[in-house]
């Protein structure tokens, strides 16, 4: 019986496709968004336990968007040498976080805190309803930087403690 | 108000923790509890909760200030029913006010549309406002051509929708922005709060 139902569904589907004309939808994704969606930059993960890696995790599955953005800091210069992301959400959210990872590379932690959601939204020509995605990407950057700074502070405190003990 | 709630909850969790637990080992479990409590809404399927707990394996930043996202158990702040009543009242009253406003202000391309619980206000070439409910967070989300995205929580003390980061009041913000954009003030938008809370008391 299941096979019959499946055949019928497939049958109707194949009958519909040739007759339906191509519909042009009134809302389109900007080509930058499509580019980042099809060719996302810097997808991946770093070791979160690495003392030089800052992890920002924002959003919640119940809301429909979760972004994890990680930055790798160069110990000496304090600059961001690498970044990666993983995002669960709409095309605009994926594109926003992908753009964020591109923009943070090579910058100092103070500099990336000045990246505004409005800049990301403008670059991707996000429609009003998707501006929240760009804000989430800005929040992800801030959270990653905060985590990296906290780790550095902790590391410095541990080193100072070790110096005091040995001295 | 909500940040005070977070602090109180954190203190109570720390007090309940065994004395030998270090702060470092407590943070991930704290973070997991916060995120899982937020995620475990009645209509969320178990596999999403499992995914969330594996996702949230790193330390969650719970800032005191308004810079980053704050993980709060919204269900204890506002019940879902109460939230729907308040949010629906706000959006529907606002829709009526905006339709009246549209008759007063002669603006080409002015349109107010309400569908699928999303209120869209088009101001022609001046921009578009989108307002929608975000039930899991008990928030109203607004997208403005002037101030960009904002997320408003219901503040019990002031009986208004407030954006924590900027302390902006939803209806006050709309009043000032519409006056700025259209050159014509929308009268007494803030009075709607009285109507909303009066309805709330009657139910």
Alpha helices in chain A (DSSP H): 2-19, 31-38, 91-104, 109-112, 117-124, 131-166
Q: How large is the ipTM?
A: 0.74
Among A63, A129, A155, A159, the one annotated catalytic: A63
Q: Using pLDDT thresholds of 50, 70 and 90, give the confidence band for residue A42.
A: very high
A134 with A118: CB under 8 angstroms? yes
Instruction: Specify whether A84 is catalytic.
Output: no
Residues of B in contact with A129 (CB under 8 A): 118, 130, 132, 143
Q: CA angle B154-B136-B89, nearest 5°?
A: 45
Q: Is A66 on the interface with B (CB under 8 A)?
A: yes
CA A70 distance to own-chain centroid: 9
CA angle centred on B31, ends B18 and A145, rounded to 5°:
125
- Report the alpha-carbon distance of residue B59 to residue B56 in Å, rounded: 7
Strands (E), B19-147: 110-115, 118-123, 128-134, 139-144
Of A15 and B176, the structure prediction assigns the larger pLDDT to B176
User: Which pLDDT score is estimated for A9?
Assistant: 53
Segment A124-149, tens digit of pLDDT? 999 999 999 999 999 999 999 999 99
Identify the band that residue A41 occupies on the pLDDT scale cut at 50, 70 and 90: confident
Sort B35 into a burial class: Cβ within 10 Å, 0-12 / 13-18 / 19+.
buried
Mean pLDDT score, A140-159: 91
**Predicted pLDDT at B21:** 41
Helix (H, G, I), strand (E, B) or coil at A90: coil
Share of chain A above pLDDT 70, in %: 83
Task: List chain B residues with CB under 8 Å of A60.
Answer: 35, 38-39, 52, 136-137
Q: Are strands B118-123 and B139-144 parallel, antiparallel or unpaired?
A: unpaired
Work out the percent of chain A whose per-residue pLDDT is above 90.
62
Measured CB to CB, residues of chain B less than 8 Å from chain A are: 35, 38-39, 41, 44, 48, 51-52, 55-61, 63, 67-69, 118, 127-130, 132, 134, 136-137, 141, 143, 145, 148-149, 151
Contacts with B35 from chain A: Cβ below 8 Å: 60
Is residue A133 among the annotated active site residues? yes
Closest residue to A63, CB basis, from B58, B63, B134:
B134
Gyration radius of chain A's alpha carbons: 22
Q: Long-range pairs for B111-115 at CB < 8 Å and ≥24 separation?
A: none
Check residue A98 and give its pLDDT. 94
- CA separation (Å) from B152 to B87, B142, B155? 10, 8, 9
| Amino acid B120: pLDDT | 95
| Two structure tokens written together for B203 | 């139910």
CB atoms within 10 A of CB B95: 16
Q: What is the DSSP letter of B125?
A: G
Which residues are within 8 A (CB) of A132 and not within 5 positions of it... i.e. 6 or more apart?
A65, B141, B143, B149, B151
Let me know: does B94 contact B173? Beta carbons within 8 Å. no
**In what order do the strands lie in the sheet containing B128-134?**
B110-115, B118-123, B128-134, B139-144, B148-155, B160-163, B168-169
The strand ranges marked E within chain B are 110-115, 118-123, 128-134, 139-144, 148-155, 160-163, 168-169
Q: Please, is B135 exposed, middle or buried when counting C-beta atoms within 10 Å of its C-beta (0-12, 13-18, 19+)?
A: middle
Find out whether A55 and A147 touch, Cβ atoms under 8 Å.
Answer: yes
Q: Best residue in A51, A115, A127, A128 to probe B by mutation, most B CBs within 10 Å?
A: A128
Q: Give the pLDDT band (50/70/90) at residue A19.
A: low
Contact criterion met (CB below 8 Å) for A75 and A52: yes
Mean pLDDT score of chain A:
85
Nearest to B76 by CA among B168, B12, B149: B12
**Looking at residue B138, what is its pLDDT?**
92
Please report, in angstroms and rounded to a whole number, the separation of the first and last CA atoms in chain B: 25
Spatial contact of A79 and A70, defined as CB atoms under 8 Å apart = no
Residues of chain B with pLDDT below 70 are 1-76, 199-203
pLDDT digits (tens, 9 = 90+) for A59-109: 988 888 999 999 999 988 889 999 999 999 999 999 999 999 999 999 999
């Amino acid at each position: 019986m299941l096979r019959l139902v499946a055949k019928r569904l497939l049958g109707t589907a194949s009958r519909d496709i040739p007759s339906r004309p191509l519909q042009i939808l009134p809302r389109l994704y900007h080509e930058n968004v499509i580019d980042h969606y099809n060719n996302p930059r810097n997808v991946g993960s770093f070791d979160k336990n690495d003392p030089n890696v800052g992890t920002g995790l924002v959003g919640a599955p119940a809301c429909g968007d979760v972004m994890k953005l990680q930055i790798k800091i160069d110990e000496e210069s304090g600059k961001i040498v690498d970044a990666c992301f993983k995002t669960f959400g709409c095309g605009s959210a994926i594109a926003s976080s992908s753009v964020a990872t591109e923009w943070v590379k090579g910058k100092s932690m103070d500099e990336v805190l000045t990246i505004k959601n409005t800049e990301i939204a403008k670059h991707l020509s996000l429609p009003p309803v998707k501006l929240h995605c760009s804000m989430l990407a800005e929040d992800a950057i801030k959270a990653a930087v905060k985590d990296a700074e906290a780790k550095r502070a902790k590391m410095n405190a541990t080193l100072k403690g070790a110096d005091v003990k040995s001295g | 108000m909500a940040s005070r709630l977070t602090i109180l909850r954190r203190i109570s969790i720390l007090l309940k923790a065994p004395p030998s637990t270090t702060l470092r080992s407590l943070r991930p479990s704290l973070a997991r509890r916060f995120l899982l409590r937020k995620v475990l809404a009645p209509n969320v399927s178990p596999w999403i909760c499992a995914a969330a707990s594996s996702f949230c394996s790193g330390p969650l930043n719970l800032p005191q200030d308004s810079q980053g996202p704050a993980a709060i158990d919204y269900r204890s702040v506002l019940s879902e029913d109460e939230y729907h009543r308040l949010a629906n009242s706000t959006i529907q009253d606002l829709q009526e006010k905006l339709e009246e406003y549209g008759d007063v202000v002669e603006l080409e391309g002015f349109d107010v549309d309400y569908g699928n619980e999303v209120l869209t206000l088009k101001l022609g070439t001046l921009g578009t406002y989108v307002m929608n409910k975000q039930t899991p967070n008990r928030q109203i989300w607004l997208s403005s051509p002037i101030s960009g995205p904002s997320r408003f929580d219901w503040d019990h003390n002031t009986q208004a929708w407030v954006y924590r980061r900027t302390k902006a009041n939803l209806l006050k913000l709309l009043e000032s922005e519409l006056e700025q954009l259209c050159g014509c003030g929308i009268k007494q938008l803030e009075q709607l709060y009285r109507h909303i809370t009066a309805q709330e008391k009657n139910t």
